């Protein structure tokens, strides 16, 4: 899992904040989100396959967000840099921006970034408990520019504490916060179009390493992040690009089963 040339995070620096990498474990992620203030009506679920309908059927629908964990390869980095080169630095802020996006400045915090993107956008935002840590954080972040949002995350002790506890509960031995890790999280969410949602919505790719949020395409009213089009524009592109590397996994945010 360690790498010296494909680590997606900022360079190791004892003077900068760093998190222990978060395992893609639905139970751990659900507990983390609920501790921060997500309603018990939602939970994180394993996505056992994105190509077999009978396995996708295990996830409650609609799925409100999809988190993909993938290996950061030289092929991916070349594609990312080429796509980002054509885009300006994102400067969105305030209630009018299409999605709430965070730039990642905390080393090895991509799992937390993915979860914040998942609950901070689309219908999931309505399941954040009032006056909770999440509620206060998302409200405080909304009017800020990207650099100020990053500083806010770095200066929120409750976030670091909850993350540390969750990272220690994984099923595998957790790396050190300063370790080089070549696996990365990206989040896909659907934002509703129109005031009544009848116009469908946009599929967004949210990754704190990019220059900003990326609109991947329009989805119909009855399509979610696990619909055929969303999977084709999102995780299946990653799988196709990486060929034989099987270190991919997905989890989805959707209604709780218990």
Among the listed residues 110, 117, 163, 250, the single catalytic one is: 110
Q: Which two tokens stand for residue 258?
A: 């218990």
The answer to whether the beta carbons of residues 137 and 120 sit under 8 Å apart is no
**DSSP H/E element including 69:** strand 65-71
* Residue found under tokens 């935002």: 125
User: What residues contact residue 134 under an 8 Å CB cut-off, 6+ apart?
Assistant: 33, 36, 37, 38, 119, 128
Q: State yes or no: is 184 an active-site residue.
A: yes
3 state DSSP class of 128: strand
**DSSP H/E element including 39:** none
C-alpha span between 33 and 169 (Å, rounded): 14
DSSP string, 173-202: PPPPTTS---EEEEEEEEEEPSTTSTT-EE
Q: State yes or no: is 250 an active-site residue.
A: no
Among the listed residues 45, 117, 163, 184, the single catalytic one is: 184
Catalytic residues: 110, 184
């Amino acid at each position: 899992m360690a790498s010296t040339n494909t680590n997606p995070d900022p360079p190791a620096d004892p003077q900068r904040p760093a998190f222990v990498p978060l395992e893609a474990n639905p139970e751990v992620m659900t507990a983390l989100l609920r501790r921060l203030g997500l309603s018990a009506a939602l939970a994180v679920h394993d996505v056992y396959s994105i190509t077999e309908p009978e396995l996708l059927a295990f996830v409650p629908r609609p799925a409100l967000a999809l988190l993909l964990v993938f290996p950061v390869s030289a092929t991916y980095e070349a594609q990312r840099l080429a796509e980002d080169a054509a885009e300006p630095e994102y400067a969105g802020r305030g209630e009018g921006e299409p999605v709430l996006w965070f730039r990642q400045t905390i080393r090895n915090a991509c799992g937390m970034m993915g979860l914040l993107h998942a609950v901070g956008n689309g219908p999931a935002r309505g399941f954040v408990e009032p006056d909770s840590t999440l509620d206060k954080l998302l409200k405080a972040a909304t009017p800020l520019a990207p650099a100020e949002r990053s500083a806010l995350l770095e200066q929120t002790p409750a976030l670091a504490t909850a993350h540390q506890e969750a990272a220690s509960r994984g099923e595998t031995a957790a790396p050190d916060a300063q370790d080089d890790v070549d696996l990365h999280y990206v989040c896909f969410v659907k934002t509703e179009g129109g005031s009544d949602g009848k116009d469908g919505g946009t599929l967004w790719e949210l990754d704190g390493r990019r220059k900003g949020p990326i609109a991947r395409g329009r989805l119909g009213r009855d399509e979610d992040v696990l619909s055929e089009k969303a999977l084709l524009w999102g995780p299946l592109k990653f799988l196709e690009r990486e060929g034989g590397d099987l270190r991919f996994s997905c989890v989805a945010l959707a209604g709780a089963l218990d």
